[in-house]
Structure 1
């Protein structure tokens, strides 16, 4: 008889994150499906909910086999299914596409950081389903005419090498044109901030606690500022920007979700944003771009920390699994 190896710290971490994310998704999709009117978007929302429910059951089974405590996550107490519509159906579609973009990143990390075959199988299934739903959301956005393509540039006909140091110039002197890699990073950072901006404005309307409303408003202002920074670089080169989604917000002040869930959603997008900015910084080869990314990265880290302090204050933040503090045992 073969004995299954204990879970590694990496496996514990990624399963714990996946559990909480899927628990939140189930609650969010209950509300989305309660107010959804678009019959083309509804099947995707239903598939998303079913996917999250299946993931929760699989992780619970792993936890049971390992005698691992099950996170509290989120429950029906975190949603008001009678709340009025907060966003247009098309924004929910855009939100889902962005969610599965982040899912593909987090589940790929879960796969590549896991050792046990059952855990790798779980994350492989998650990647496969996330890829399917991502493609469905993208195809539907294209058919509805709400997918913003990144800018077009001429197709290179020759291959050249960089021969001068001024390729890195950015602060002073004549700046070279943006590379395709830099355009890609700028465009999708604008797109992600545009989604976050709309989300935060909506949340600032409905959050129950004053400090949570103020935190959401501050986040919307930061997202708007970052959009302007990245837009200015593209505009300087006569390149188009992404779409803005704030017109998709309704006027309601009744929250469909608990402040705990609102803060969790913003924490997740902020954490993902920090990761994307780090990737953009690593790929930027013009000094002015590096300076922009360093600044927005610092602002995002500070904003995320302030959010964590709010969730800790209200006992909304579950403590993640930790190593043994052996110093306390001395």
Structure 2
């Protein structure tokens, strides 16, 4: 049926998925638009983000292409797994999608990032889309589909069948082309763990059944507090409001630092003006740089001649130690460079 033809096909191997998507895209006579993923940060962290990102590094689209969204954006009205079709490209060549339920969406670029507290360590940017005539079972994890045509005849890992079959909202939307025994097998270690957890649960249930009233309530409260929970609902609500306020404050504090930076103030002067430590201002600078609001050329003015000449050896140390952490590099040079100097050097290395 026409509805069935609109469903995404799930396969266990990339070769099947790539073949189908390539064939379908070639059948469309419309102009092709290409979108290259942008990245910023240490190569190891960027590669980690790319491996976990459902959108491809090179996204190729045409009007008429069947797509699936790969990230949640509730404000724009799509989630990971929303299906649709490219209906146009705007004046900036950004894709416009009509979803399966008829909604028109102007697709924004989105970020995937690795953060350390308030500091962004690495970031990749791409349109949250991928071709969806076919996708792999592995890439479908986390998605919820109205329907899918599933081929598990070449399944090669424990749990692939569960992942594929559980993507579909209702049984009426599931079409199974084939399967093998591997697809539905459960890993032996999982079965052993499940048996262990069941035994522990039965033992705990038996012990708790002997408690009554106040003793049971006391035990429940002790469990909540041991897990880091709160018993006073008033304090919980207060803390929630404080967190919301602090998030808003964090956004404005970056903007304040950026405005002072644009006025030409030194980092030391910005710190004095704001009553903050130099380390805090540096963390703002790192975040603003990762956002693209401060450019490489602007950062270079922070480096004295001696420090600028030392950048190659500092960057080599960051590359050799791979993870982008400051302490190993600081120790490698026996304190020759301060942590703040290394933080600045790391920014240029990440770029």
Q: Give TM class, smaller chain.
A: under 0.3
Q: Point out the structure with the larger helix share.
A: 1
Q: Which is greater in Rg?
A: 2
State the TM-score, normalized to the length of structure 1: 0.25
